[in-house]
Amino acid sequence: MGRLFGTDGARGVANSELTCELAMQIGRAAAMVLSVGERKRPRVLIGADTRISSEMLQSAISAGLCSVGADVLVLGVLPTPAVAFLVQKYGYDAGIMISASHNPCEYNGIKIFKSDGYKLPDELEEKIEEIILDGTLVPDVKIGGEVGRIRQSDMPRFDYIEHLLSTVEEDFSGIKIALDCANGSASFTAPELFTELGADFEIISAVPNGININRGCGSTHPEALQKFVADNKCQAGFAFDGDADRLIAVDEKGNIVDGDKIVALCACYLKNQGRLKNNTAVVTVMSNMGFHNYCQKHGIAAELTAVGDRYVLERMLEKGCSIGGEQSGHVIFLDYASTGDGQLTAIQLLQILKRSGKTLSELADEIEIYPQITVNVRVSQIGKVRCSADAEIKKAVQSAEKELNGSGRVLVRVSGTEPLIRVMVEGKNEEQIKRLANEIASVVKERLI
């Protein structure tokens, strides 16, 4: 994890940790790093989510780009995966997304994509950090006619929706679903997408006002969607996060279908279609033991990575796999996208639902999920660094693992996007794992705050 960039771009409290000045510097440095050996006037497209600070930061980063001679195409409010798709489709040098994904409105972030639609690798993020923090290169500020231009277009939204439509063959008429847009980016794309697909749909949390993004809604707070689906007798519900790169599904009974179940069901479907490359799904160390049992039953191999969709993607590219994802709902279909895409995942799952003739609960119940408790402990930045080497925390983990005696597991990890240590315990006995998670979290709190 770098000095400015975490596992999912640069992120912090907008106008405090992530300032306009820093956004401008990131724009300048990104143009310098990504335009080496390219055209004289690099071209960068920028999308944003609906949070109140997004336009402010978009203006700042655009100013930074233009000041070093880059031309900017402002996409307006779009999902993160739209930026990743469009930068490649339009042949731009880079794509930037202004979003803090699933975080509350006071946070914001900057995600940068290369011309091929993939997120920046660690080495390029480090070069940007070195320019900003160490002054390794001095920005070549332009004047006169060499200053970059900014333009806007509404066409990118339609091009992205057309791409999503091209990934499925089914007409979804007759299927009743509910959509939770998290008052975020999907509010601007989901209505048209699902109308074109012929689905009978209802939408909640799709009236963004700048401060209600992810507030009590979306993939991190699906409770309202669960109730809505059950009360309105929908066949499924789909909850996106603020920038629509995640999906949490809800079955017709109002039960959660998380990323583990979604990846498992989609991997099995692809295998039956002869399209599961290398017969492997890529998941993180957070994936439930029930996921692995299901894959083993269906003859599917599982590759494990560190937490973070960028690490899932890296392993997918390395191993030549077609699907991977996280429990949190990042699911990557590499045949169609270079990053997680909540709406793409929703329509792939709908296609499986229609072709199977089963209900979503029937499909999802084939995967037995073990109870899993996660306790988040807020710590300082120094605490995050010290966590892995602390002897008392190690001792607490070893004690818990001894008590579980092979019937569960413990994972203590540093968040890549927030000042948190996450303590996860998994096992068959929910009371036991809750107690063990809280005991370890108490030690973390004593040692690292």
Q: Give counts: helices (H), strands (E), the chain.
A: 15, 19
> Dihedral (C-alpha) 220, 221, 224, 225: value to the nearest 10 degrees?
10
The count of other CB atoms within 10 Å of the CB of residue 2 is 14
Handedness of CA 351, 49, 184, 247 (dihedral sign): positive
Find how far residue 87's CA is from the centre of its chain.
18
Please pick, among 101, 115, 185, 415, the residue that the annotation labels catalytic. 101
Identify whether 101 is a catalytic site residue: yes
Count Cβ neighbours within 10 Å for each residue of 351-383 and write b for 16 or more, e otherwise.
bbbbeeeeebbebbbebebbbbbebebebeeeb
User: How far is 325 from 334, CA to CA, in rounded Å?
Assistant: 11
Residues with Cβ < 8 Å from 414, sequence gap 6 or more?
1, 384, 387, 388, 420, 421, 422
44 has which bridge partners?
Answer: 72, 94
Q: Tell whether the torsion through CA atoms of 328, 277, 81 and 69 is positive or negative.
A: positive
End-to-end CA distance of the chain: 20
Rounded to 5 degrees, φ, ψ at 410 are -125, 135
Give the DSSP letter string of 135-200.
-SS------GGGS--EEE-SHHHHHHHHHHHTT-----TT-EEEEE-TTSGGGGTHHHHHHHTT-E
Both structure tokens of 249: 């599904």
DSSP one-letter code for 40: S
Characterize the bridge pairing of strands 200-204 and 236-240.
unpaired
**CA atoms within a 13 Å half-sphere pointing along the CA-CB vector of 248:** 23
User: Which uninterrupted H or E stretch holds 45?
Assistant: strand 43-48
Going by C-alpha positions, the residue among 63, 64, 44, 35 that lies closest to residue 124 is 35
Which tokens belong to 78? 């779009």
Query: Which run of H or E residues covers position 282?
Result: strand 280-284
CA dist., res. 70 & res. 150, Å (int): 9
Active site residues: 101
